Chains A and B, each alone.
Chain A
Amino acid sequence: MKKKGTVIHTNSGDRIVSSRIPASKVFRKHWLLLLMLLPAVVYVLIFCYVPMSGLVLAFEKYQYRGGIYHSPWIGLQNFKAIMIDGKLPGVTRNTILYNIAFIFLGVVFEMGSAILLNELRNRYFKKIAQSFMFLPYFISWVVAGAIMYNIFNYERGIWNSIAVVLGGSRFDVYNTPTAWPFILVFLKLWKQTGYGSVVYLAAIAGMDQEMFEAADIDGANAWQKIRFITIPSLTPTMMVLVLMAIGNIFRGDFGLFYQTVKSSALLQPSTDIIDTYVFRLLINNANIGVSAAVGLYQSVLCFITIMICNKLVKITNPDYALY
Chain B
Amino acid sequence: MKTKITALILTLCVLLSCMAAVTASASGVADLPDDWRTNVIKATPDMYPDTDLSKPYTVKIYQVGDKPVDWDKIQNSLNEQLAPFNTSIDTVFMSWADVGTMYSLNLAGGADIDLIFTAPWEYMFTEAAKGSFFEMDADFIAKYMPLANKYQAPESWDETRINGKNIAVPCNRMAPEGRLIAIRTDLAEKYGIGELKNWDDFKNFLLTIAEKETPESGILAFGGQENNTAFWELWYTNENWFDAYFTNNLRFSFPYEGKVPAAEDIKLAWETDLFREFCREMKTLADAGVWSRSALNETVNQWQAFGAGKSASIEWNGTVFTYMKEVEKNEGVTTAAYDLFKEKGTLVTAEAYSNGDIAIAAGCANPERAAMVLDLLKFDTAMNHTVVLGIEGDHYNIDENRIYTETDNTASYLPDGNSLSWATRNGDVEKAGVPEREQVIYDEWKRRMTANPLTAFIFDPSPVQANADAVDSIIGDYYGMLGLGLVDDADAKLDEMLDKCYKAGLQDIYDELYKQYNAWLAAR
Contacts and interface: CB of A to CB of B under 8 A. Distances in A.
A280 to B, nearest CB: 7
**What is the predominant secondary structure among interface residues of chain B facing chain A?**
helix
Contacts of B294: 149, 152-155, 157, 173-175
Interface string A91-135: 000000000000000000000000000000000000000000000
B287 to A, nearest CB: 12
Interface string A156-175: 11000000000000001111
B367 to A, nearest CB: 13
A140 interface: no
Interface string A30-72: 0000000000000000000000000000000011111000000
Interface size range on A against B: 35 or more
B297 A155 contact: no
B169 interface: no
Contact of B107 (A64, A266, A282, A287): A64
B318 interface: no
Contacts of B297: 149, 174, 261-262, 264
Given A64-B363, A264-B480, A87 B473 contact: yes
Interface in B457-488: 465-467, 469-470, 472-474, 476-481, 486-487
B293 interface: yes
Interface stretch (B62-70, B136-144, B500-508): B500-508
A22 interface: no
A89 interface: no
Contact of A65 (B362, B474, B476): B362
A63 B469 contact: no
Interface string B25-58: 0000000000000000000000000000000000
B322 interface: no
Given A80-B466, A149-B297, A283-B100, A154 B477 contact: no
Contacts of B401: none
A64 B131 contact: yes
A240 interface: no
A245 to B, nearest CB: 29
A204 interface: no
Contacts of A261: 297
B293 A155 contact: yes
A281 interface: yes
A166 B478 CA distance: 35
B296 A286 contact: no
Interface in A262-276: 262-268
A84 interface: yes
Interface size range on B against A: 35 or more
A39 B486 CA distance: 52
A85 interface: yes
A68 to B, nearest CB: 10
B407 interface: no
B218 interface: yes
A265 B296 CA distance: 8
Contacts of A154: 292-294
A156 B465 CA distance: 43
B236 interface: no
Contact of B126 (A153, A286, A290): A286
B95 interface: no
Contacts of B487: 266
Given A64-B362, A64-B363, A286-B104, A264 B296 contact: yes
Nearest to A84: B470
28 contacts: A63-B130, A63-B131, A64-B107, A64-B363, A81-B465, A81-B466, A84-B504, A85-B504, A154-B293, A155-B214, A155-B220, A155-B294, A174-B296, A175-B296, A262-B299, A263-B296, A265-B476, A265-B477, A268-B477, A283-B104, A284-B473, A284-B476, A285-B248, A285-B472, A286-B126, A286-B127, A286-B130, A288-B130
